[in-house]
A and B are shown apart, each in its own frame.
Chain A
């Protein structure tokens, strides 16, 4: 089945959503940018089918997505300590995902199963549970680019690397410094950041930095 719900906006962090609503000139990006088009293409559920609409609906509800979101843009800007606002039934769905992740051979909710918005919901739901998050990241990487949104995978990996005591590699994680200003969390090999970000359909590094600190 393929019921086209209103497109899901990927406001990963309120910070990014704020930045989107008033993009300063220096934070320039446009809908025709390659990274925006790649994201839009992936998240256009009208062009893809999925097999488990019941699970998809439950995931969207639990992740607090629903019909209120509209723009398919993911900036890859995540502020430490800002958890996504989840919906009713999030705890139960997280447990369900844990059980699915633990069951060998289970049907994991990829885009073919729950659509692009459903996969994004899985990503949001697993953010706060480190054990589940590791499994989800692994499943997303394993599923490949046709089944997992690259920008989510990249942002998720950065988030988890910091949790594991390593440095991020895409430059998507920020924190509030001692002076109250937003600063980039520890990162390795920033010299090649734009190559990685291009691969992950994220905006150029300078745009990400600018959106985080408008």
Chain B
């Protein structure tokens, strides 16, 4: 069936869409700088919850490195309880229990934004290695109970996938249809935009996802990885919008 839309109706539809998705406000943009971080130490701007996240250098530039060489199954990051308490106060125990169930997946929570509901998040990443996995992801919708969502690129599968983590169970949600092999040792950008239940993702500005979530997101954000991945992250940028 072919649908014809009159010009007047089309204008109204476009106007409605514009209202529904407020443009990203550049003034609200937070771009993480690692300039004052100490190489070899944990980052101050992120709270590593699982995995060995340390500051490193790439061509003299400071980057955040998830070092999968020291990954061990089921091992959370050091001082997890203190970090969880700082992020979630009295609800930290619930968070810790859930994160321990997901200790297969290194995560570091961004400290600079308490709640992300709508807007854009992007991060540059460089795959260094990993015998089992080479995963770089954006973590979002991190709840006090430890549930979260992630959109990640996996260099062993060449794909971008949305996963949910709920009550200790990881579930596949949606795989972007395009396979994109990337070379190790080269920088790439992963980006998501969230507006209500609309989720879109891009890899190097190439559209990947256009997906409708089951519910709007609301929670902390950060970076995500998997098992023994060795990934460098840089230019973590978040632009929250009203809607």
Taking Cβ atoms with an 8 Å cutoff, the residues of A that contact B are: 141, 144-146, 150, 153-154, 157, 166-167, 169, 188-189, 191-192, 195-196, 198-200
Contacts and interface: CB of A to CB of B under 8 A. Distances in A.
A83 B183 CA distance: 28
Contacts of B68: 199
B51 to A, nearest CB: 14
B184 A199 contact: no
A192 B184 contact: yes
Given A141-B131, A144-B132, A153-B131, A199 B228 contact: yes
Contacts of B133: 141
A141 B183 contact: no
B128 A141 contact: no
A146 B72 CA distance: 10
Nearest to A196: B129
Contacts of B185: 188-189, 191-192
B129 A192 contact: yes
Contacts of A169: 129, 184
28 contacts: A141-B132, A141-B133, A144-B73, A144-B227, A145-B131, A145-B132, A145-B228, A154-B131, A157-B131, A166-B181, A167-B183, A169-B184, A188-B183, A189-B128, A189-B183, A189-B185, A189-B186, A191-B185, A192-B184, A192-B185, A192-B230, A195-B129, A196-B129, A196-B131, A196-B230, A199-B129, A199-B130, A200-B131
Contacts of B128: 189, 192, 195-196
Contacts of B91: none
Interface of B: 68-69, 73, 128-133, 156, 181, 183-186, 227-228, 230
Contacts of A150: 131
A130 to B, nearest CB: 17
Given A144-B132, A153-B131, A195 B230 contact: yes
Find the residue from B69, B129, B228 having the highest chain A CB count within 10 A. Answer: B129
B183 A199 contact: no
A193 B181 CA distance: 19
A10 B232 CA distance: 33
B131 A195 contact: no
B69 A199 contact: yes
Contacts of B131: 141, 145, 150, 153-154, 157, 196, 199-200
Q: Which 8 A-B pairs have the closest CB atoms?
A: A189-B185, A196-B129, A189-B184, A192-B128, A199-B69, A188-B183, A200-B131, A150-B131
A146 B228 CA distance: 13
Contact of A198 (B69, B156, B186, B227): B69
Nearest to A202: B131
Given A188-B185, A199-B129, A199-B130, A141 B69 contact: no
Contacts of A198: 69
B180 to A, nearest CB: 13
Contacts of A192: 128-129, 184-185, 230
Nearest to B70: A199
Nearest to B72: A145
Find the residue from B132, B156, B185, B227 having the highest chain A CB count within 10 A. Answer: B132
A174 B133 CA distance: 24
Contact of A199 (B73, B156, B186, B230): B230
Nearest to B227: A144
A191 B186 CA distance: 11
A199 B66 CA distance: 13
A106 B131 CA distance: 24
Contacts of B181: 166
B24 to A, nearest CB: 33
Contacts of A145: 131-132, 228
A196 B181 CA distance: 18
